[in-house]
Amino acid sequence: MTSGFYVAKSEFTGRRQLAWWRRPLGGLHRREVSLRLSILVPAVLYYLLLRYYPVLQTLALSLTDAELLKPDYAYVGTKNFTLLFGDAVFVRVLRNTLYYAFATTFATTIIALALSFVLNPIPRGNELLRLLFYLPMVSSAIAVATIWLWLYQARFGLINAVLRAVGLGPVPWLTSPRWALPSLIIMGIWGGVGYSAIIFVAGLRGIPAELREAARIDGAGPISELRYITLPLLSRVVTFVLVTGMIGNFQVFQQVYLMTRGGPLDSTRVLALHIYDYAFRRLHIGQAAAMAVVLFVLVATLTVVQLRLQRSEWEF
């Protein structure tokens, strides 16, 4: 009889073989398996405890009437979601968030793509220029907001001073419900163009030069080369910029909180700020969790749609 660790002798070698549960996984030695498990297990635990568990807990809280200082709470089903979509303020907040996210993301992508075509052919000083364009991404949010508050200042701001110099009247950038959200969009575009342009430059430099040369030999002009060579090969880069930009812009909080606090008249109130107010000012955790679930569904849906469009439209 064979022991628990062995099976019958091999027909070809005559040696006893280890049972399958004692064999090294995938042909690796035990030390290699242990090393890989020591790297994999902390990452899995990190995602389970700090990523997926908070999402599930938020979903569970969205179905309750939980409050921050209230130890007990009851299950209310979809009541929080019904109250949200019946609230005129939340509908306006949702509209503001969609407007900000779409306008900032698409404008940033278009400007960054055009800027990458300018930066890519520069032989010297290219790295310095890319560093200058990237500085807004690594600058302090408080410092950036302070600078833009002075630029948008109605009486002494630089932007209105330039407008007066060319014969135009001053614009109430942050004090008018009409101009407040476009002002934040302009600031968001300024902050995101450099990062996206660097990614596009890397994508352009990854396109094989042989394809461009072959297209020119076949008589393709700049427009045809852009349409049939450059843009199709940049499709994955464009999708990455759009998806990451959309996710980041849907979660915008710092700029709005530091610049306008959602005013004037809730014209700049966005979803992340609304969640913050409900959770930590009004202490309604259940309703704030329901808003977070809505934000999660919006971001996930738009991401899937963009990935599907990228797969279908840019294939050769």
- Please, what's the largest Cα pairwise distance for the chain? 101
Q: Is residue 4's pLDDT more than 60? A: no
pLDDT of 15: 54
More confident residue, 10 or 164: 164
Q: Render pLDDT for 37-78 as a digit per residue (tens, 0 to 9).
A: 888 888 889 888 888 898 899 999 999 999 988 888 899 999
More confident residue, 7 or 167: 167
More confident residue, 127 or 243: 243
Q: Is residue 28's pLDDT more than 90? A: no
Q: Is residue 95's pLDDT more than 90? A: yes
Question: Picking from 74-78, 127-131, 151-155, which range would have the lowest pLDDT averaged per residue?
Answer: 127-131
CATH of 89-313, one of 1.10.1370.30, 3.40.630.30, 1.10.3720.10, 1.20.58.1030: 1.10.3720.10
pLDDT of 213: 83
pTM, rounded to two decimals: 0.82
Segment 82-111 shows an average pLDDT of 94
Q: What percent of the chain has pLDDT over 70?
A: 89
Q: Is residue 9's pLDDT more than 80? A: no
pLDDT of 25: 52
Q: Domains of the chain: which residue ranges?
A: 6-61, 89-313
Question: Picking from 99-113, 207-221, 242-256, which range would have the lowest pLDDT averaged per residue?
Answer: 207-221
Q: What percent of the chain has pLDDT over 90?
A: 51
pLDDT of 270: 96
pLDDT of 316: 38
Q: Render pLDDT for 189-248 as a digit per residue (tens, 0 to 9).
A: 999 999 999 999 999 988 888 888 888 888 888 888 888 888 888 988 998 899 889 999
Q: Is residue 126's pLDDT more than 90? A: no
Q: Is residue 283's pLDDT more than 60? A: yes
